[in-house]
Amino acid sequence: MQYRIVDTETYYRRGVFRHFSQDCKCSVSLTSRVDVTGLKQYSKDTGTRFYLNFLYVLSRALNAREDYRLAWDWQNERLLLWDKINPTQYVFHADTETFSLAYTEYDPDYGVFYARALADLEAAQQSREYGLDEAHHPNWFDASCVPWLSYDALHVELPDGYLYFNPIVNWGAYREENGRLMMPVTVRLNHAAADGYQIARVYKLLEEEMERLCKKR
């Protein structure tokens, strides 16, 4: 894992960063429905898993902008920018109604990422341990699916005093609306790292990445 230190005096959001890291520590969660009709069809046509395909486009979207790859080194009070961030999958066990974590290293190559993510998912399915290992995975973001519900809103609560910059993304079951498959996606980012514009850009990037992948058929 590699990073560079961001100069907070020349950082393009330095005023906002100072305010929301000192005066008003808070995070922001937005939920919006994403059209996944094309991605669902791509998954069917290629015999691949929709879940892993969405995880791939999500990982590409979050690695596309520096705003989503920030981290706060609280021990040394430094703003870090990771070269890349990787998804943490949450694998559900129906028999125990618990989850195990699966850490998948991001790669922009679809074939490489898909094979890694599938292998990590299958390995986690054999475990019943939670498997949290934050010490060895600082540059990771939470990617969690709620397949039992097509929800309208979701909020992730974190202590305001802790500058946790890693993105947290949840998505639910898609449902048909006017002939399209629409899926709720919730993006949580710390306000010191992102305003509404930066969070809204995640959804635009998701659309672009889904379109790019589907053109590969």
Q: What is the DSSP letter of 8?
A: T
- How much is the pLDDT for 161? 67
> Would you call 172 helix, strand, or coil by DSSP?
strand
> Crossing angle for the helix pair 50-63 and 196-214, nearest 10 degrees?
130
Question: Domains in the chain, ordered, with CATH?
Answer: 3-214 (3.30.559.10)
Identify the sign of the CA torsion 176, 178, 181, 184: negative
Number of C-beta neighbours around residue 4 at 10 A: 11
Position 27, amino acid:
S
Q: How confident is the model at residue 160 (pLDDT cuts 50, 70, 90)?
A: low
Reported as a pLDDT band with limits 50, 70 and 90, residue 165 is very high
Contact 157, 189 (CB under 8 A): no
Distance CA 55, CA 53 (A): 5
pLDDT at 159: 73
Q: What is the pLDDT of residue 158?
A: 80
Output DSSP code: residue 136: G
Tell me, what's the pLDDT at 45?
A: 96
Element containing residue 80 per DSSP (H, E): strand 78-82
Q: State how beta strands 140-146 and 168-172 pair.
A: parallel
